[in-house]
Structure 1
Amino acid sequence: MDNQDFISIASVIKKRRTVKPAMLNGNKIPNGHIAAILELADWAPTHGLTEPWRFVVYENPADFCKEHAELYKQFTPAENFVETTYNNLTHMGDKASHIIIPIMKRGDLPKIPVFEEIIAASCAIQNLLLGATGLNIYTYWGTGGMTLKPAMKDFLKLGDEDHVLGILYLGYADEIPEGRRKTPLEEKISWR
């Protein structure tokens, strides 16, 4: 890799931001751009070539949001049900262009720990996020609502060892939050 490659990659990594769905502007991303960032996701590292990442793409976020809210309503005991949560889930993607649900699909090599499969799928998600940033697409990676509950796994028809790794809301934004870190880098690294 020459210096220019490093500079380009570093720029994209430092530019990536989490932008909450309400801050998106509702403009549509071309499906070709979504396909391009999914292709980048497919180049994640993978032990034993299990390639454990899978993605469910919703071109119309409202479709998923309604289903998500109904899962919450169906599987939340009446005494715990909160109408505001239901409404928030229903409208969470109103300004998103696409929703992508990343999944860790357990590979067929039992000697590879589940932990490694989750890491590989998470690397695929990071590739997707960085590719999106390179196309001026902003993202929010959330795990709220029913995302991590058994009902969502059932809804997506996943196996016992598969995992939903969140919900990705993608879109364009007019205002981008500043990047920041709370802990200085020196406090996170120990040179030996």
Structure 2
Amino acid sequence: MIKCMILDFDGLVIDTETSEIESFEKLYETYQVQFPVKKWLEGIGSALSFDPYESLMSEVPGVKREELRPQWAQVFELNITLASSSSKRWIDRHMEQLDIRQYFDFICTADDVEHVKPEPDLYLKVLAHFNIKSHEAVVFEDSPNGALAAIRAGIQCVAVPNPTTESLGFDPGIALRLSSKEEMSLDEVLSKI
């Protein structure tokens, strides 16, 4: 009998690898240089010995790392936020068990708002925290109540039901429904919505 499940983080819990490659490909494209994906892939799952900035600087004389990093960040870095109808205590306990708190820029729970999903309060608080408009965000939800809260907040919602919620009816206002997070890359999702 299996008594322990061990998960990798990058590429499994969160697919940071695909988005990193895609963002470096876009950065290289701006300089008409092909990103050496094979070199990058050799270090996946280990310590990355390939420096994508150094590689690009060797191809483009005069460009400096200080210029490249912000250009890459504009493509890659998103604010990763959690908005949950669960209590802060519940979320904190699971975050601690999984050791994933550091991957979220902001966490909003039932303790932070007057009304939880399907009301939009959680999502509106996230928008206010980052001082952004609803069209500058996207929500991924597994439940109809969560999807409805996003829609009520004016944020495009991608429904990714789990086995418990897949048979439930989602509001027709959702932007996209996926059978799993693996069905599309983030770039594909963003281009569809």
TM over 0.5: no
More strand by proportion, 1 or 2? 1
- Structure number with greater CO (CA < 8 Å, separation at least 6) is 1
Question: Which one has the largest radius of gyration?
Answer: 2
Where on the TM-score scale, by shorter chain, does this alignment land: which range? under 0.3
